Amino acid sequence: MTNARAQRTPSAVKSATMLNPSWAQGLRTRVGLTVAGLLIAGTAWANKPYVAPTEPPKPPAPSDKDASDACPEGTQLHKTRTEKYCYKPNYNKEGLWLHWYDGGQKKAEITMKDGKREGRRTLWHENGQKKEEGDWQGDKEVGRHTEWAKDGKKAKEREYKQGVLEGHAVDYFPSGKPKEEIDYKNGKTDGKHIWYFDSGNKQLEGTFTNGRKHGLQLEWNSSGALVQAICYKDTAESWRAQDEAEARSKKCP
C-alpha cells in the first residue's frame, strides 16, 4: 500500500478530481476564503495608523515664560533645565540663584548680590528634605547655620560671625541625640567641649582657652563610671585622678 501511495501521479489526482466535482469545488472555496482573509488582514494592518514608541516622561523644566524670570534692571537671564540666575555685564550674579536636580526637584536657592552670597542660602536633599540653611553677608556665613540628614533629622548646628565660628556648636547622632558640643570664640575652641555616647551619657568633657586644653578634663565609660580625670594648664598636664569627687574638689589649674 505504501508503494502505491508513493507512485500516485498528478494525473491520478486529476482523475480523482474529475470523478468528484463537489470535492474540488469545496477545495477551491476554502482556498479562496483563506486568500481573501489574508488580503483583508494585510490591508487592515497596512491602513493602521503609525503610533510612535512612547518615551519615559522627562522631568519638568522651569517654564520658558515665567514671571519669576524677570531680572533686575541692567542684568540678563541665564536659564537651563538645572540652573537659573540673573547676571550683570561683568557676569556677577544678582538676585536668586536657583538649582534643580536632574529629576526636577529643587536643589538650592541662594541670594546673590554683585556676585557674592548675601542673605538666605537653602539647600535640599534629592528626596525633598532640607539639607542646609543659613544666612550670608558679603559672601561670609553669619548667625546660625543648620544641617539636616536625608531623613529630616538635625545633623549639625553652627554659629558664625563674619565667616568665623563663634558661640555654641552641636553635632548630632542619627538618633537625634547630641554627639558633640563645642564652644567657639574667634574660630577657636574656647569653653566647654563635650562628647557623648549614643545613649546620651557623657564620654568626655573638657575646657579650652583659645584652642588649647586648659582646665579639668573628665572621661567616662559607657556605663557612666569615671575612667580618668586630668588637669591641664595651657595644654600641659598638671595632675591626674581616678575619683570624680576628688577631681572636682581639687584646684585646676
**How many domains is the chain built from?**
2
Are 156 and 122 members of one domain? yes
Residue 148 lies in a domain: yes
Q: What is the pLDDT of residues 140-184, one digit of tens each?
A: 999 999 999 999 999 999 999 999 999 999 999 999 999 999 999
Residue 47 lies in a domain: no
Are 98 and 126 members of one domain? yes
Are 177 and 249 members of one domain? yes
Are 187 and 209 members of one domain? yes
Rounded CA separation 181/204 (Å): 11
Nearest-CA neighbor of 240 among 219, 224, 222? 219
Q: Facing residues of 95 across strands?
A: 112
Are 92 and 149 members of one domain? yes
Q: Which domain holds residue 157?
A: 59-164
Nearest-CA neighbor of 237 among 251, 219, 250, 253? 253
Residue 120 lies in a domain: yes
Q: What is the pLDDT of residues 98-142, one digit of tens each?
A: 999 999 999 999 999 999 999 999 999 999 999 999 999 999 999
Rounded CA separation 221/208 (Å): 22
The backbone region for 119, taken as left when phi is positive above 0, alpha when psi lies in -120 to 50, beta otherwise, is left
Residue 26 lies in a domain: no
Q: Facing residues of 116 across strands?
A: 113
Are 117 and 202 members of one domain? no
Are 81 and 158 members of one domain? yes
Q: What is the pLDDT of residues 182-228, one digit of tens each?
A: 999 999 999 999 999 999 999 999 999 999 999 999 999 999 999 99
Are 87 and 135 members of one domain? yes
- What is residue 129's predicted lDDT score, i.e. its pLDDT? 98
Residue 40 lies in a domain: no
Q: How confident is the model at residue 68 (pLDDT cuts 50, 70, 90)?
A: confident
Which CATH number is 205's domain given?
A: 2.20.110
Q: What is the pLDDT of residues 44-58, one digit of tens each?
A: 545 656 555 555 555
Which residues lie closer than 8 Å to 43 by C-beta, 6 or more apart?
A: none
Residue 188 lies in a domain: yes
pTM of the predicted protein model: 0.71
Residue 247 lies in a domain: yes
Residue 117 lies in a domain: yes
Average pLDDT of the chain?
A: 85
Are 76 and 87 members of one domain? yes
Query: Among the three residues 164, 190, 216, which one is the final residue of a domain in this structure?
Result: 164
